Amino acid sequence: MRANKLPTEEIKRDPAAFTDRVTADGRFGRTAEAGRYRLVISRACPWAHRVVMTRRLMGLERAVSLAVTDPRQEIIEGDPHWVFTEETGSPGGVDPVLGIHALREAYLARDPGYDGGVSVPGLVDTQSGHLVTNDFDRLSLDLATEWEGLVREGAPDLYPEALREEIEEIGARVYRDLNNGVYRAGFAPDQRRYDDAVAAVFACLDDLEERLTDRRYLVGDSVTMADIRLFATLVRFDAAYHGHFKCNIRKLTEYPALWAYARDLFQTPGFGDTTDLDHVRIHYYWVHEGINPTRIVAAGPDPRGWLTPHHREELGGSPFGEGTAPGPVPEEERVPAIG
């Protein structure tokens, strides 16, 4: 959807345009190699955030470098695009590794005739400059399961085979009614479709509140892909979706179990230390002119609540299962500290 246009129809997400897979054995044609690929993201984007969390939890920071775009998009030939700027660490507005200003250049390097949308995350081959994939879900799963030999010692099992069916069952509901549901509400073209979307958002949150009242994590006794998928939306809920997308029946902070669960994850390495709430607020309020034509960026909410005690450890479980916590965030990837 054009961010600077008023919505005229219900938002629809196109399937990923490029879906090459990268694995340790190269069975799909591309082999996982340290230094070969660069992950282009926006810290505002929940779909990109899933991949960043997975990459950090698996300890792949040195194997796959990270490029961060500006939270404000630039209009190029009439369309908004993810671009590199001095403010996000790209001298002269050009990514120092890929040598490009806009992510769309990697799309066009892959397919000069491409005229579709450009989304983050994008995994780019540093040797050819070609986009490899913008399939955020498959990329997350592959980083969690297919990069053996490059992941850190003690990396958690984020997608246990015995739990995959349950992870995907919960993930389908969360995606439909919450991850994508907030967008359906925010970009609803009429009252009926807004009412339908926002009702589904809060029905899902109500069910998750009940599920998480007596269990620490969504599936099993440790963090899985189900938690990563949910956290990416929860951490943006009060900062963007509650006000900007009119999902304002309740705030996340009004759900005792969900709010404690979200704080538990935020304070777990890999979650809060990959979250930039300034980027979130700036992007949503500045880019979506059709919803917020003044581009005034909301000041709140106060992020310090994310650091308050949650007491979820009393429910048992351990965030990394039989694994260990990731090490410190690389200095060049640190997000602003809260407090």
pLDDT at 2 over 50: no
Ramachandran assignment for 45, one of left (phi > 0), alpha (psi -120 to 50 degrees), beta (any other) = beta
The pTM of this model reads: 0.96
pLDDT at 260 over 80: yes
| CA 116 to centroid of chain Cα atoms | 21
Active site residues: 45, 183
**Kind of pairing between the strands at 37-41 and 131-133:** unpaired
Is 133 within 8 Å of 123 (Cβ atoms)? yes
Lowest mean pLDDT among 9-23, 24-38, 106-120, 145-159: 9-23
For residue 3, the model assigns a pLDDT of 46
**What percent of the chain shows pLDDT beyond 90?**
95
Nearest residue to 50 (alpha-carbon basis) of 254, 288, 274: 274
Distances (CA, A) of 78 to 22, 111, 239, 253: 33, 20, 28, 39
- Binding site annotation covers 82? yes
For residue 1, the model assigns a pLDDT of 37
Structure-token pair, residue 279: 């980027």
Is 263 in a helix, a strand, or coil?
Answer: helix
Structure confidence at residue 6 as a pLDDT band (50, 70, 90): low
Domain layout of the chain by residue ranges? 22-145, 161-323
Q: What is the CA radius of gyration of the chain?
A: 19
CATH superfamily for domain 22-145: Glutaredoxin (3.40.30.10)
pLDDT tens readout for residues 8-66? 567 777 889 999 999 999 999 999 999 999 999 999 999 999 999 999 999 999 999 99
pLDDT tens readout for residues 284-306? 999 999 999 999 999 999 999 99
Structure-token pair, residue 225: 């892909």
Q: What are the backbone angles phi and psi of residue 133, rounded to the nearest 5°?
A: -155, 145
* Residue with the two structure tokens 């969390």: 53
Topology agreement, domain 22-145 and domain 161-323: no
Q: What is the CATH number of domain 161-323?
A: 1.20.1050.10
